[in-house]
Amino acid sequence: MSYQREKQVAIQAVTAAAQLCEQVRQEEGSLTLTKPDRSPVTVADFGTQAVICRVLAEAFPGDSIVGEENSSLLRQPAMTQQLTGVTHYVKSQIAEATPETIITWIDRGTGQVADRYWTLDPIDGTKGYVRGDNYAIALALIEDGEVKLGVLGCPALPIHPNQPDGDRGVLFVGVKGQGTTLIPLAGGQPQTIRINECDRIESLRLVKSVESSHGNPELEVAITQSLGFTTPSLQIDSMVKYGIIARGEADLYIRLPFPLESSKRQNIWDHAAGVVILEEAGGRVTDMYGKPLDFACGTKLFNNQGIIASNGAIHDAVLATVAQEIQAPETSQSTP
Ligand SMILES: Nc1ncnc2c1ncn2[C@@H]1O[C@H](COP(=O)(O)O)[C@@H](O)[C@H]1OP(=O)(O)O
Ligand SMILES: [Mg+2]
Ligand SMILES: [Mg+2]
Ligand SMILES: [Mg+2]
């Protein structure tokens, strides 16, 4: 299958969502609400899920969508003002939107994992978004447990890695068997991207989270030291990290549980789009034991622990080092 129509619809949906997110960030004062699990969510997370689910539902009415958000917080009587805010921004993208249709569209994203389904993180890296830094809108299509298409909208990412103060706003688009392209969010020619082919250890670079509570940073640093990395790491929020490796700006992203034996598992929407984007650019993604990620078992990666995403060439060496380091008790229990 060429996935041509899926790709075109996903790009259209993510581009509209990126415009919404940037409009909210420019116009809103206080952005953050708190979900029952204490994690942050904003008017833009809800607006983005509404817009993307609406576009997908129109184009592919039979497809299930598994998204991060649902409307339960927004439907509470105390949230009327926030729902009005979401409606205002969604209307900029879809003129006929009403509070009622928006609730329906958001909850269109509470579907089940199926033989064919979409997974959506309307804003990945909400903390980065609120801080004014990087974030990603992440949409992926999965068939038979394999990611076939991934689109990552990265509105705050510089288009050219060597021009950090230049124009921003990038779409990464990966299609199984067809490679990965980078397209400026404002429009322009798709450009095929590849991972960094250089395997000189001293030039290799880790890309890591800004938020230290999201992984096991001391162990992650111990692994890169053991591998011999000397180039300072990049720090960037969200799944943008996958795109950064896919275009050769960094070589490795490690996300390990804390503590190591934690039963917590990663959400499918936090990785699916990044996996196909990086693999189609020449990279490799597995769990910390080298197993492929299993997107067929539910909303979380229940069959996988930890994530290793790399330029491919160093992957086996990284897995061997991870295996060594996780057996060293003094690093495995370190505080993040
Ligand atoms: N306390 C947490 N533990 C693990 N993951 C988290 C936590 N809080 C947020 N996340 C998720 O981690 C990812 C971003 O982390 P990072 O930028 O450090 O890579 C996002 O998917 C984010 O969810 P969200 O999509 O709600 O932003
Ligand atoms: Mg969240
Ligand atoms: Mg996320
Ligand atoms: Mg999110």
pLDDT digits (tens, 9 = 90+) for 242-277: 999 999 999 999 999 999 889 999 999 999 999 999
Structural domains of the chain, ranges and CATH numbers in brackets: 4-192 (3.30.540.10), 201-332 (3.40.190.80)
> Has residue 332 got a pLDDT over 50?
no
pLDDT band with cut points at 50, 70 and 90 for residue 314 = very high
> Ligand 1: which atom is nearest the Cα of residue 124?
25
Give the active site residue among 126, 224, 286, 321: 126
> Ligand 1: which atom is nearest the Cα of residue 236?
17
Please name the residue whose Cα sits nearest to atom 10 of ligand 1.
214
Q: What is the pLDDT of residue 334?
A: 43
- Cα–Cα distance between 167 and 158 in angstroms, integer? 6
144 is known as an active-site residue: no
- Cα–Cα distance between 54 and 221 in angstroms, integer? 42
Contact 181, 7 (CB under 8 A): no
> Ligand 1: which atom is nearest the Cα of residue 215?
4
| Residue 270 assigned ligand-binding role | yes
Task: Name the residue of 134, 238, 244 to mutate for ligand 1: max ligand atoms within 8 A of Cβ.
Answer: 238
Contact 168, 136 (CB under 8 A): no
Q: What is the pLDDT of residue 148?
A: 98
| Residue 115 assigned ligand-binding role | no
Please name the residue whose Cα sits nearest to atom 22 of ligand 1.
125
User: Could you identify the residue written with the tokens 């322009």?
Assistant: 188
Comparing 37-41, 249-253, 276-280, which segment has the lowest mean pLDDT?
Answer: 37-41
- Cα–Cα distance between 205 and 248 in angstroms, integer? 10
Amino acid 219 reads L
CA-closest candidate to residue 73, choices 110, 42, 108, 29: 42
Interaxial angle between packed helices 4-27 and 43-59, expressed in degrees from 0 to 180 and rounded to the nearest 10:
160
Phi, psi (degrees; rounded to nearest 5) at 73: -65, -45
At residue 42, the 3 state secondary structure works out as strand
Task: Name the residue of 49, 69, 211 to mutate for ligand 1: max ligand atoms within 8 A of Cβ.
Answer: 211
Q: Is 192 exposed, middle or buried (0-12, 13-18, 19+ CB in 10 A)?
A: exposed
230 is known as an active-site residue: no
CA 304 to chain CA centroid, Å, is 17
> Has residue 233 got a pLDDT over 60?
yes
Q: What is the pLDDT of residue 82?
A: 94
- Expressed in angstroms and rounded, the spacing between residue 248 Cα and the centre of ligand 3 is 23
Contact 294, 262 (CB under 8 A): no
Contact 231, 217 (CB under 8 A): no
In this prediction the pTM is: 0.96
Interaxial angle between packed helices 80-93 and 99-107, expressed in degrees from 0 to 180 and rounded to the nearest 10:
80
> Has residue 286 got a pLDDT over 50?
yes
Q: What is the pLDDT of residue 336?
A: 40
Q: Is 197 exposed, middle or buried (0-12, 13-18, 19+ CB in 10 A)?
A: exposed
Q: What is the average pLDDT score of the chain?
A: 95
Q: What is the pLDDT averaged over residues 73-90?
A: 95
Task: Describe the chain by its helix, strand, coil percentages, rounded to 5.
Answer: 35, 20, 40
Please name the residue whose Cα sits nearest to atom 4 of ligand 1.
214
Q: What is the pLDDT of residue 333?
A: 45
Pocket of ligand 1 (CB under 6 A): 39, 68, 121, 124-126, 128, 209, 211, 213-214, 237-238, 270
Task: Name the residue of 127, 213, 233 to mutate for ligand 1: max ligand atoms within 8 A of Cβ.
Answer: 127
CA-closest candidate to residue 34, choices 46, 26, 42: 42
- Joined together, the tokens standing for residue 336 give 């993040």
By residue count, the chain amounts to 336
Give the active site residue among 15, 42, 45, 110: 45
Q: What is the pLDDT of residue 213?
A: 86
| Residue 68 assigned ligand-binding role | yes
Please name the residue whose Cα sits nearest to atom 2 of ligand 1.
214
Task: Give the ligand with the smallest distance to the CA of 48.
Answer: 4
Question: How many percent of the chain have pLDDT more than 70?
Answer: 97
Q: What is the pLDDT of residue 328?
A: 72
- Cα–Cα distance between 194 and 319 in angstroms, integer? 22
Q: What is the pLDDT of residue 329?
A: 56
CA 205 to chain CA centroid, Å, is 20
CA 166 to chain CA centroid, Å, is 23
> Has residue 176 got a pLDDT over 90?
yes
| Residue 124 assigned ligand-binding role | yes
CA-closest candidate to residue 275, choices 132, 146, 121: 146
- Expressed in angstroms and rounded, the spacing between residue 296 Cα and the centre of ligand 1 is 21
Q: What is the pLDDT of residue 335?
A: 42
Q: What is the pLDDT of residue 330?
A: 53
| Residue 123 assigned ligand-binding role | yes
List residues bridging with 184 in a β-sheet: 170
Q: What is the pLDDT of residue 88?
A: 96
Task: Name the DSSP letter for residue 293.
Answer: P
- Cα–Cα distance between 60 and 313 in angstroms, integer? 37
- Cα–Cα distance between 155 and 14 in angstroms, integer? 10
Comparing 33-37, 100-104, 145-149, which segment has the lowest mean pLDDT?
Answer: 33-37
